[in-house]
Amino acid sequence: MSGVTYRGSQDRDDELLTRLPDPLRSLLSQINGFILMGGALHVRGACQLPAWHSLEEAWIGESSFSVSYEAVDPEDVPFAENALGDQFLLREGVVNKLHAETGTIEFLGKSLFEFLEAVQEDPVHELQLEPFISFHRDGGRLQPGELLMAYPPFCTKESEAGVAFKAVPTHQRLGFLADFSAKVSKLPEGARISIQVVS
Range of the domain at 85: 4-184
User: Which pLDDT band holds residue 66 (cuts at 50, 70, 90)?
Assistant: very high
**Dist. CA 96–CA 106, nearest whole Å:** 6
Look at residue 25 and tell me if it is in a domain: yes
Look at residue 197 and tell me if it is in a domain: no
- Summarize pLDDT for 9-45 with one digit per residue, the tens: 999 999 999 999 999 999 999 999 999 999 999 999 9
- Structural domains of the chain, count: 1
Look at residue 157 and tell me if it is in a domain: yes
Look at residue 199 and tell me if it is in a domain: no
Tell me the pLDDT of the chain averaged across its residues. Answer: 92
- Summarize pLDDT for 68-126 with one digit per residue, the tens: 999 999 999 999 999 999 999 999 999 999 999 999 999 999 999 999 999 999 999 99
Preceding peptide of 152 cis, ω within 30°: yes
Q: What value does the mean pLDDT take over residues 42-57?
A: 97
pLDDT of residue 179: 94
Look at residue 59 and tell me if it is in a domain: yes
Look at residue 190 and tell me if it is in a domain: no
Q: Can you list the alpha helix ranges (DSSP code H) found in the chain?
A: 14-19, 22-30, 55-60, 65-68, 112-121, 123-127, 130-137, 170-184
How many other β-carbons are positioned within 10 Å of the β-carbon of residue 199? 2
Q: What value does the mean pLDDT take over residues 178-188?
A: 81
Give the rounded percent of residues in the chain with a pLDDT score beyond 90: 84
CA geometry: angle 157, 163, 119, nearest 5 deg: 105
Look at residue 194 and tell me if it is in a domain: no
